[in-house]
Amino acid sequence: MSEAGIAEIAEIIDGKAFAAGLRARIGEAAEELQAKHGLIPGLAVVLVGENPASQVYVRNKAKQTREAGMASFEHKLAVDTRQDELLDLIRQLNDDPAVHGILVQLPLPDQIDAQAVLDAIAPAKDVDGFHIINAGRLMTGAGEPLVPCTPLGCTMLLKDRLGDLNGLNAVIVGRSNIVGKPMAMLLLAENCTVTVAHSRTRDLPGLCRTADILVAAVGRPEMIRGDWVKPGATVIDVGINRIDTDDGKTRLVGDVAFEEAAQVAGAITPVPGGVGPMTIACLLANTVTAACRQAGIEPPSF
Ligand code: GUN
């Protein structure tokens, strides 16, 4: 609120524009790798079954990979694929020198043990950053992890907006392996004071109000209200929830009640157009990083 009592609207963090810029830098890096080293970064994406949302994601990943001048390998398997068949494919991809990154789209059908599949991916090619080796490297700071794409994208947006994150209070709502936990590690590495909140956290609104950086990754539409936000805070909304509207249609909303929070926050990511576009862009960045490391070339910093 301004001194005149007029509500000020937060800066909208344009993830779509940032991701487009990042993809352009990745495209330039890929062109240079090919020209100087004859190296074409290659990403293999594996989809099992016909989950409509997964089909859209996989199509977008393949399209954006090609648009960045990289090689895309798509493997679409039947919904009744057995675990050993999928593991055979992973072994082939691990051994294929044209493939530098492997992504198995989640969720997988029930007959397949997802963790066993993720653990079968060579850590050097694990561009999702879900392998235990990469999670362990991120946690300990030992070696060079491939970092999960969504929290990597959130960190880029935060550093772009805030510069130095040193000493800031960060509250992450959600403790998933894909977002919440790696996000905590990344912000800890930036010297934030990090709290990970979840469904059993007491006085969640009060805790959120302590956050200079508030990251919402719970998958519950508009759960985080405007009066949970500290004035001036930077709010990163990872949620992508489709809800029904009164006119019989649907629309996408985040985990944050955007209109309310934007009256209080200093900056906030919208849904759609905030964190979402950053995820695939970071997947491409990880593929370039993985390709460089496999070829013994210093990776570009994005
Ligand atoms: N399904 C939803 N998000 C993701 C992701 O980041 N990686 C993979 N592999 N599957 C997903």
pLDDT mean across residues, the chain: 96
Does residue 176 have its Cβ closer than 6 Å to ligand 1?
no
pLDDT, tens digit, for every residue of 33-92?
A: 999 999 999 999 999 999 999 999 999 999 999 999 999 999 999 999 999 999 999 999
Burial class from Cβ neighbours inside 10 Å (0-12, 13-18, 19+) for residue 186 reads: buried
Choose one of 128, 149, 154, 177 to mutate for the ligand 1 pocket test, by most ligand atoms within 8 angstroms of C-beta. Answer: 128
Our CA angle for 268, 277, 184, nearest 5°, is: 60
Choose one of 43, 75, 103 to mutate for the ligand 1 pocket test, by most ligand atoms within 8 angstroms of C-beta. Answer: 103
Q: Are 286 and 129 in contact (CB under 8 A)?
A: yes
Which one, of 10, 24, 64, 57, lies nearest residue 236 by Cα?
10
Amino acid at 166: N
Atom of ligand 1 nearest to the CA of 107: 1
Q: How far apart are alpha carbons 264 and 275 in whole angstroms?
A: 20
Does residue 104 have its Cβ closer than 6 Å to ligand 1?
yes
Total Cβ atoms within 10 A of residue 111: 12
Q: Are 218 and 233 in contact (CB under 8 A)?
A: no
Does residue 139 have its Cβ closer than 6 Å to ligand 1?
no
Does 128 qualify as catalytic in the annotation? yes
- What is the greatest pairwise CA distance in the chain? 66
Classify the C-alpha dihedral 123-128-132-133 as positive or negative: positive
Q: How far apart are alpha carbons 136 and 129 in whole angstroms?
A: 10
pLDDT, tens digit, for every residue of 191-246?
A: 999 999 999 999 999 999 999 999 999 999 999 999 999 999 999 999 999 999 99
Does residue 134 have its Cβ closer than 6 Å to ligand 1?
no
Atom of ligand 1 nearest to the CA of 279: 6
* Residue 123: both structure tokens together: 């850590």
pLDDT, tens digit, for every residue of 249-289?
A: 999 999 999 999 999 999 999 999 999 999 999 999 999 99
Atom of ligand 1 nearest to the CA of 104: 9
* Ligand 1 centroid, distance to 223 Cα (angstroms): 22
Which one, of 213, 249, 206, 242, lies nearest residue 227 by Cα?
206
| pTM of the complete model | 0.96
Does 83 qualify as catalytic in the annotation? no
Q: How confident is the model at residue 4 (pLDDT cuts 50, 70, 90)?
A: low
Domain annotation for the chain: domains and CATH numbers: 36-125 (3.40.50.10860), 148-277 (3.40.50.720)
Cβ neighbours for 9, distance < 8 A, ≥ 6 positions apart: 262, 263
pLDDT, tens digit, for every residue of 50-67?
A: 999 999 999 999 999 999
pLDDT the model gives residue 7: 58
Q: With residue 34 as reference, give the H or E element that holds it.
A: helix 15-37
